[in-house]
Amino acid sequence: MTVTYTARVANARFCGFSKLLLAWKGSIYKVLYKEFLAFFAMYSAISITYRFFLDDDQKRYFEKLAIYCNHYASLIPMSFVLGFYVTLVVNRWWSQYTSIPLPDRLMCVLSGGLHGNDERGRLLRRTLMRYASLSALLILRSVSTAVFKRFPTMDHVVEAGFMTREERKKFEGLHSPYNKYWIPCVWFTNLAAAARCEGRIKDDHTLKLLLEPVGLKIVIIFSKRVNQLLCHLQGKQVGGGLRGVNCLVLFTSRKTNFGAC
């Protein structure tokens, strides 16, 4: 879990950022102290062996070996390898962030395209947004531990108000081995069509503007982003995950260069 110290540096104070260097949780010391201790132990063992246990001929041979390793260590383009790997990591996490289905644009479109200040109009707008939020919730339950702990069963989803009991019966009545997050999106489009029949959407042109270029596009993007988020977090999207060979190349190159230096 990410450890944040933003609140500790929210205000300017004397040595505010410098005090963060003493923090242990989430620090680089906690991440690297085991490797540092291992490196320090090996370095000390080699240094003591070279200074106290080797004769002159063995020392000269060791020095030649050190010069040889130092010469060929520069042939490994570590900056390129690390830069390539960091680019993959940053792009992957940024893709995950941009794949999060945010409801803001969809809410604005519904507010402007679906009219009615009475209870029925408000209920339609709320129900449409509830379907969109339900779609995101269903997929986030399968990829996020925190969301799954909050909604471990469909009973919790119903109790939280994302789904009614009648909708749950329809949802569970459709048997599928795959995630059924797309069902609320179907409910969304059907309810939007019903709103047009009731006159909540003034004309077909407005319905077209709501569903095709703007509304439906946003719903599709909403559903697509949910699907992309699932692919990113499970590492199944082509080119989206970090392949084992990339990690192996980085690990081998870094450790080889580290040992040679």
DSSP 8: G
Quick one: the chain helix, strand, coil %, rounded to 5? 70, 0, 30
Give CA–CA dist 225/135, Å, rounded: 11
DSSP 214: S
In the predicted model, is pLDDT for residue 71 greater than 60? Answer: yes
Q: State CA 213 to chain mean position distance.
A: 28
215 lies in some domain: yes
Give CA–CA dist 206/193, Å, rounded: 11
Are 218 and 105 in contact by the 8 Å Cβ rule? The answer is yes
For residue 189, give both structure tokens: 């489009």
For residue 156, give both structure tokens: 């919790």
For residue 253, give both structure tokens: 């190159």
Give the residue with greater pLDDT, 6 vs 98. 98
Give CA–CA dist 94/89, Å, rounded: 9
210 lies in some domain: yes
Q: Which of 93, 92, 135, 129 has its CA nearest to residue 113?
A: 129
DSSP 238: T
Instruction: Match 């102290």 to its residue by tokens.
Output: 33
228 lies in some domain: yes
| Kind and range of the H or E run holding 151 | none
Model pTM score: 0.59
Q: Which amino acid is at 225?
A: R
Are 165 and 157 in contact by the 8 Å Cβ rule? The answer is no
Burial letters 117-135, b for 16+ CB under 10 A, else e: eeeeeeebbebbbbbbbbb
Residues of the domain holding 133: 104-234
99 lies in some domain: no
Number of folded domains that form the chain? 1
Asked whether the CA dihedral 97, 99, 104, 105 is positive or negative, the reply is positive
Average pLDDT in the chain: 77
Are 221 and 161 in contact by the 8 Å Cβ rule? The answer is no
Backbone angles phi, psi at 233, to 5 degrees: -70, -30
Lowest mean pLDDT among 91-95, 157-161, 247-251: 247-251
130 lies in some domain: yes
41 lies in some domain: no
23 lies in some domain: no
Predicted pLDDT of residue 213: 38
List, for residues 126-161, the tens digit of each pLDDT value. 998 898 889 888 888 887 888 899 999 999 999 999
Give the residue with greater pLDDT, 9 vs 113. 113
Give the residue with greater pLDDT, 210 vs 179. 179
Q: Which of 110, 117, 114 has its CA nearest to residue 132?
A: 110
151 lies in some domain: yes
